[in-house]
Structure 1
Amino acid sequence: MRGQVLHPLLLRQLRRAGLSADVDDAVAFGELLKHVSRAYAEHDQERTLLERSQDLASQEMVALNDALRAERDALEQRVLDRTAALEVSQSRLSSLLSLSADWIWEQDAELRFTYVSEEFSTAVGFAPRLIGKRHEFGATIEADGEAQAEYERSVAERRPYRDFTYAIVRPDGVKRWIRASGEPVFDADAVFRGYRGVGRDVTEIIAAHQVVKQMAQLDHLTGLPNRRLFLIELDRAIARAHRDGSGFSVCFVDLDRFKHVNDTLGHLAGDQLLATLGKRLRADLRATDLVARMGGDEFVVLLEGTTDPADVSRLAGVLLGTVNQVLHVAGRDMQVSASIGIARYPDDGIDATTLLSHADSAMYEAKAAGKNRFHFHTEVAAREAARQFELEAQLRLAIAREEFELHYQPKLGVDDRAVTAVEALVRWRHPNRGLVMPGEFIALAEDRGLIVAIGRLVIKMACRQIAAWRRQGIEPPCVAINVSAKQFADDVLLADLTAAMTESSVGGGELVVELTETALMADPERATGVLEALRRLGVRIAIDDFGTGYSSLSYLKRFPADEVKIDRSFVDGLPEDPDDLAITQAVIAMAHSLGMKVVAEGVETEAQRSALAAMGCDQMQGYLLGRPMPVEDLVGRLSKAVHGAVAPVLDGPSVHVDGVAATSVGSTPVSLGSPTCEGVHMPAGCASQASASFTQ
């Protein structure tokens, strides 16, 4: 092998074997072959191992690839599923939003709108360019001051806010109300990123709320603020005046004799008068003044910033002039007047209750001074108002406790002075003051709406007395009950009568209801129906104080009455006054021609009795014949009459208050426990009558 160029691989093997390329002997060659053979064997083994390793690696790669492919397929499927679910959710949300009045919005960290759903444009009626803009309160966006301040505090403090209500003014001037709720958005590092929320058009809700609020704070008849709203404004005026060191005046306006308008023309005419007057008062006052209707025929005026007596007097004079203007009501022209009480802040009070109370008392002082005038608050008026308030509270308690009793005044025949009837007069048995005469509480009861309750008690007491007489062996007389105009106008009168009659087993023939012309003429159609219902119960009907009201023959003929009572104002002038003679004679002749009995009230002299007898009057009553007395004294007098004694004029202590006569003889309440008088009998039937009256 000498001189030959060997392959590098063979040279490496020779070197491994420690041989030289120049060796020629066979031994060396044999060693060389062994090494070569071993080298190939090792090479084959390495190649096998490599191939094996490559095969294993290939299998692992295939398995890994399959796993990755499966995972990728699963991931892609999940993505597809999630995408489909998101699309369904978005579709559902879009559908719900399209059906809902709500819309959604988003703002960035600078509170600029980044998204507003299209429902917003539909709701407000136009497409405002909000994207990239902030809420700017002012010309086109309005909000209540307190609500806006709370909203701005919430945003500044990055707090959620709920139901923030504001108005957007459209380009055409129409205002739409929006109610929005929002919550702040923060990223993973708690960095503020903006707000997102919902909104809704609440224009109709706000409008409905305003209508309800208006109805709650405005008088339905006049459209003026009612008592509730006036008290709110009065408190605000007090706060302003206290803050500014200024003052104002309150004028309490009460119409004079408004009840007469209602009784004469009916409640519809009265309502028309109040509505017209309310408009005139508002028109004639200054823009800064406030007029409200407190209820009934009472108005109240707040004269802002005016306390000087001269200025207040001038404005009060304007109010009186406004009230005195001719009114066209129920097809006729008429005039009314008013009494005005004035209280000033802070001189006459520093709170609403005190100011109104003092103005009210001043108004009553104006009425007492002659009406159709104004009067400033005085301490005397305040004390009287306090007394009236206390008396009202006691009167309400008296009604609940039934602290009333009936006294009786005889009615006699004109010729023979035989007792033909008695008139029962209501008294208040006060637990501390003793017997209180009607002149002290009836007017207050009328004014405070308590007269119906007192009338109901009178009906009960009269029926109970009839039952008591029956149990005592006394033949029960007819009981005529003087029903006030308000009680007659109350729909429960018939029910009250029926209940009292049933409770005491009293028949209709034992009762007489006395009514004034004024009460009947307030609503003639209704009055006729009620009178006919009373007739069906068997109750007799008397027209009281005849001649002081309409004295209409047509209505007198129309009303089913049994008796006419001539008012004492005509009897007073007998027999000297020719006019009183003529009127009394005409009433007696007219009543007799219609088949009615005639009773003369207020007979106090023998000359009056003789004149009435000469004119054919049937019955009479008055101080000449007997003063009001307790039931015990009445029974004693009847006993004398039954035994043939001439009925004397009852003397004894008495008082006469505002034309109201009453005995001061002590008595006990009329009840089932009244003393019995064996053998004493009243004349039978309605020739013996008892009437319960409020006014004597």
Structure 2
Amino acid sequence: MIQLKALLLSTRAEYFRLELAEQLFKRGREIPLVGILAAVTCATLFQTSENKGALTIWVIAFIALYATSYLALFLPRRKPNANTYAVWTRNFIWAFASYGVMWGVFTFICLESLGFWQEVALFMILFAIVSVPMPVLAYCLPAAILHPILVLGSASVLLIQKSLEPGMNHETSLLVMLLVASVMSTYKQMIMAKSLVSSVDDRRRLSTSVSTIQKMKREKYQDTVTGMLNLEGMVCHMRKARLSGGTGYTLLSLKVDDLEQMYSTHTKSIVDRLVKVVARRIESPAGGALTVAHVGLGEYLILTPEQDAEAEEGTIGDLFQAFNHPYFSGTKQLYLTVSIGATSLCSDEHDESAVISKAVSAMREAAKDPGNSFARYDTSMSDRFNRWMGIRSQLQHAIKSNEFTVFLQPKVEIETGAVSSAEALIRWQSPTMGIVNPADFIPIAESTGDIMALGRWVLREAALLVQNPMLPDAFSIAVNVSVKQFADPKLIGLLEEIAQELKGTQRRIDLEITESALMLESVEVKMMLRDIERLGFGVALDDFGTGYSSLSYLTQLNADTVKLDKSFLDEIPVNTKHAAFVSSVILMAKTLGLKLVAEGVERKDQLDWLALNQCDAVQGYLFSRPLAFPDLLRWLECRTTQPEVIESQLLTVSPT
């Protein structure tokens, strides 16, 4: 019994499988019925006066065993499935082991009372009983071994006894030969079982390989989120469209504005649902389109037949119209806008990738004025796009190679002329591209996620600079924090390190946060702001006035400073509306106990007006451009040793 259990355990992983159980169920249903007929026939043929009673009990018990096993194993509702195949196979093995035991008992009952030719007939019948179920038992090696051994076991014992008796005759020798033949047949049965199992494995592996190949083919051309074509699928369709001839085609590149930001403020499942909704909306008005593809991050390509200007305008208008109603994200309504670029695909254009690049260039040009904007490709866009791609390709290398420098633009207190803070501004001096404007590489860094590493680098550099002993004792450096950095899991750890370094000093790092980050109202942003407040960092609301709900955010954000955007100062004091707005903001900031800094001050009349209206501090070209750190130190020393510079720039009258 222990050996049998060990055999079952050792073979379970290999032979207890659904596909084998299904074959056993399909091919073995007749065996119990044939077994009943064989039991009745054998009991009738080999019945003698000596064994009549025992055979009667045997045949009744065997019929009951066959019937019970049939009901337990081979009724339609007993068919093995993924949940029951292991138990079913185990019961199948036990059933055939029981059959073998019963046929062994039959041999013990009959063999001693039979003549020689009856013994031969019995061995031939036993050989048939072993051989007939071979094709079925070949799918289950444990049963294939147990059944023949148990069937022939009794005969083997009896023949061994006879062979040990003195003067073994030729009749016994013949019976031994029959037994050996049966054993060899059993061995072949084991070989057959292994080969059948191996063939089942081969079929399964082949089926899996074919399925995998088909899946890989689908995935090669199909977007996994929307089920549409992906970029490679679009290239293939564009090639087919070109080869099929025709008058030409128009390729549209459509991008959902600001969708990248949602990946840092929403779960991936929410954004994926949004991407699917956008895909369905594009398909509806673009019903005449040959192909619509999703190429990632809310960007789509639409291949349409070439149209005249009026028809194309109608197609673009239909696409814009598709986004007029909101998308519902949980309990919130989200209105989407898109940017669309267009270019033509001529029959003599053999580079589909170049055509796609042109459409994308036009889309990016349109995205500079977000909010359902459209642009058609022209050659000047290609140069700008190549520049964009060049910056993107070199950005990561530039971060690793430390090609960036922190410049500082001082902030001047209007009333006293003191300089106790500065804003950190990053600069990139590329060995191949020269000086790269932050307005060019910062948006790219945000779109690629490199802004996280870049932002951490700026914070580390600012923390080192602010600790320089040549700066005034109480000095702070303000660092801009992008909305994408709120998704950086390393940011809080870095801020904790900086806070520990500056602990016990009058030096400080301030964080300038744009109003757009606050408007996201995500849990991550709120948690990050609480952590920043806990660590004692100063917080400034940057670009104030450019959002939609600026005044309300002043009461919600636990900020120290409000920075007034340059766009509101350019026309002050000439533009009375701007002047009235800025005046009201200054008054409210004073009421809330906030410090107000005006950035981008370039003219003396702006400074005079800000001083008259009690603005606290200014920064801008009127005082200083952004400076490298050694230049800032010299600039500060100059202001200390030459106070007449202050007098020439500031009001001499007290603000009212």
Question: What's the TM-score, normalizing by structure 1?
Answer: 0.59
2:393 is matched with 393
The correspondence of residues 592-631 of structure 1 with structure 2, limited to 5 A, is 592-631=590-629
- CA drift of 1:424 comes to 2.5
1:51 is matched with none
2:578 maps to which of 559, 580, 588: 580
| Pair 1:307–1:293, CA change in 2 (3 A) | same
Counterpart of 1:77 in structure 2: which amino acid?
A: V
Counterpart of 1:545 in structure 2: which amino acid?
A: D
Q: Deviations over 1:459-518 (max 9, x none)?
A: 122122123x22x47536211111112123333222333456678999795110010111
Counterpart of 1:418 in structure 2: which amino acid?
A: A
* Partner SS state of residue 228, structure 2: coil
CA distance in 2, matches of 1:318, 1:280: 13
Counterpart of 2:282 in structure 1: which amino acid?
A: L
Q: Deviations over 1:264-316 (max 9, x none)?
A: 9998876654332211112333487332222212112244xx35666983685
Contact 1:339 1:371 in 2 (8 A): no
2:453 is matched with 453
Are residue 225 (structure 1) and residue 223 (structure 2) matched? Answer: no
Contact 1:543 1:564 in 2 (8 A): yes
Contact 1:225 1:292 in 2 (8 A): yes
Counterpart of 1:224 in structure 2: which amino acid?
A: G
2:158 is matched with none
* Partner SS state of residue 426, structure 1: strand
Contact 2:412 2:617 in 1 (8 A): yes
* Partner SS state of residue 580, structure 1: helix
| Pair 1:547–1:271, CA change in 2 (3 A) | farther
1:77 is matched with 176
Contact 1:413 1:618 in 2 (8 A): yes
Q: Deviations over 1:567-594 (max 9, x none)?
A: 2233334334343333223322332333
Contact 1:516 1:545 in 2 (8 A): yes
Q: Deviations over 1:181-204 (max 9, x none)?
A: 8xxxxxxxxxxxxxxxxxxxx69x
The correspondence of residues 11-160 of structure 1 with structure 2, limited to 5 A, is 74-83=173-182, 85-86=184-185
- CA drift of 1:543 comes to 0.8
* Partner SS state of residue 441, structure 1: helix
- CA drift of 1:256 comes to 3.9
- CA drift of 1:250 comes to 3.5
Contact 2:254 2:338 in 1 (8 A): no
| Pair 1:582–1:387, CA change in 2 (3 A) | closer
* Partner SS state of residue 526, structure 2: helix
Contact 1:411 1:419 in 2 (8 A): yes
CA distance in 1, matches of 2:258, 2:491: 25
Runs of 5+ in structure 2 lacking a partner? 1-167, 650-656
- CA drift of 1:649 comes to 10
1:326 is matched with 325
* Partner SS state of residue 644, structure 2: coil
Contact 1:412 1:619 in 2 (8 A): yes
* Partner SS state of residue 275, structure 1: helix
CA distance in 2, matches of 1:451, 1:409: 21
Contact 2:235 2:353 in 1 (8 A): no
Counterpart of 2:284 in structure 1: which amino acid?
A: A
Counterpart of 1:541 in structure 2: which amino acid?
A: V
2:253 is matched with 252
CA distance in 2, matches of 1:329, 1:509: 46
Contact 1:264 1:518 in 2 (8 A): no
Are residue 415 (structure 1) and residue 415 (structure 2) matched? Answer: yes
CA distance in 2, matches of 1:261, 1:226: 23
Counterpart of 2:324 in structure 1: which amino acid?
A: Q
Q: Deviations over 1:34-88 (max 9, x none)?
A: xxxxxxxxxxxxxxxxxxxxxxxxxxxxxxxxxxx96675345323432365368
1:658 is matched with none
2:428 is matched with 428
2:358 is matched with 358
- Equivalenced residue count is 480
- CA drift of 1:360 comes to 1.6
Q: Deviations over 1:226-260 (max 9, x none)?
A: 63xx4045236525744779965533212345568
Contact 1:627 1:650 in 2 (8 A): no
Counterpart of 2:296 in structure 1: which amino acid?
A: G
* Partner SS state of residue 479, structure 2: strand
The correspondence of residues 419-498 of structure 1 with structure 2, limited to 5 A, is 419-431=419-431, 434-467=434-467, 469-470=468-469, 472=470, 475=473, 477-498=475-496
The correspondence of residues 146-225 of structure 1 with structure 2, limited to 5 A, is 163=203, 219=223, 221=225, 223-225=226-228
Counterpart of 1:414 in structure 2: which amino acid?
A: I
- CA drift of 1:622 comes to 2.2
| Pair 1:528–1:557, CA change in 2 (3 A) | farther
| Pair 1:259–1:549, CA change in 2 (3 A) | farther
Contact 2:409 2:619 in 1 (8 A): yes
Q: Which has the higher strand share?
A: 1
| Pair 1:75–1:239, CA change in 2 (3 A) | farther
CA distance in 2, matches of 1:250, 1:340: 8
Counterpart of 1:641 in structure 2: which amino acid?
A: R
CA distance in 1, matches of 2:594, 2:370: 39
| Pair 1:589–1:379, CA change in 2 (3 A) | closer
> Identity over the aligned pairs, expressed in percent?
29
Counterpart of 2:572 in structure 1: which amino acid?
A: L
| Pair 1:649–1:424, CA change in 2 (3 A) | farther
Contact 1:263 1:521 in 2 (8 A): no
* Partner SS state of residue 416, structure 1: coil
| Pair 1:369–1:578, CA change in 2 (3 A) | closer
Counterpart of 1:326 in structure 2: which amino acid?
A: H
Contact 1:342 1:363 in 2 (8 A): no
1:317 is matched with 316
Runs of 5+ in structure 1 lacking a partner? 1-68, 105-161, 164-178, 182-201, 652-696
| Pair 1:234–1:429, CA change in 2 (3 A) | closer
Contact 1:507 1:538 in 2 (8 A): no
| Pair 1:550–1:382, CA change in 2 (3 A) | closer
Are residue 531 (structure 1) and residue 529 (structure 2) matched? Answer: yes
Q: Which has the higher helix share?
A: 2
| Pair 1:85–1:640, CA change in 2 (3 A) | same
Contact 1:545 1:567 in 2 (8 A): yes
CA distance in 1, matches of 2:339, 2:565: 28
1:129 is matched with none
1:293 is matched with 294
The RMSD of aligned alpha carbons is 4.3
- CA drift of 1:549 comes to 1.6
CA distance in 2, matches of 1:508, 1:280: 56
CA distance in 1, matches of 2:337, 2:370: 14
2:644 is matched with 646
Contact 1:250 1:359 in 2 (8 A): yes
Contact 2:463 2:498 in 1 (8 A): yes
* Partner SS state of residue 460, structure 1: helix
CA distance in 2, matches of 1:267, 1:83: 66
Contact 1:256 1:339 in 2 (8 A): no
Higher mean Cα deviation, 330-339 or 420-429? 330-339
Contact 1:266 1:522 in 2 (8 A): no
Counterpart of 2:181 in structure 1: which amino acid?
A: R
Counterpart of 1:624 in structure 2: which amino acid?
A: L
| Pair 1:538–1:367, CA change in 2 (3 A) | closer
| Pair 1:382–1:534, CA change in 2 (3 A) | same
| Pair 1:319–1:93, CA change in 2 (3 A) | farther
Q: Which has the larger radius of gyration?
A: 1
* Partner SS state of residue 284, structure 1: coil
CA distance in 1, matches of 2:439, 2:337: 26
CA distance in 2, matches of 1:527, 1:455: 16
1:278 is matched with 279
Counterpart of 1:291 in structure 2: which amino acid?
A: V
1:112 is matched with none
CA distance in 1, matches of 2:375, 2:279: 21
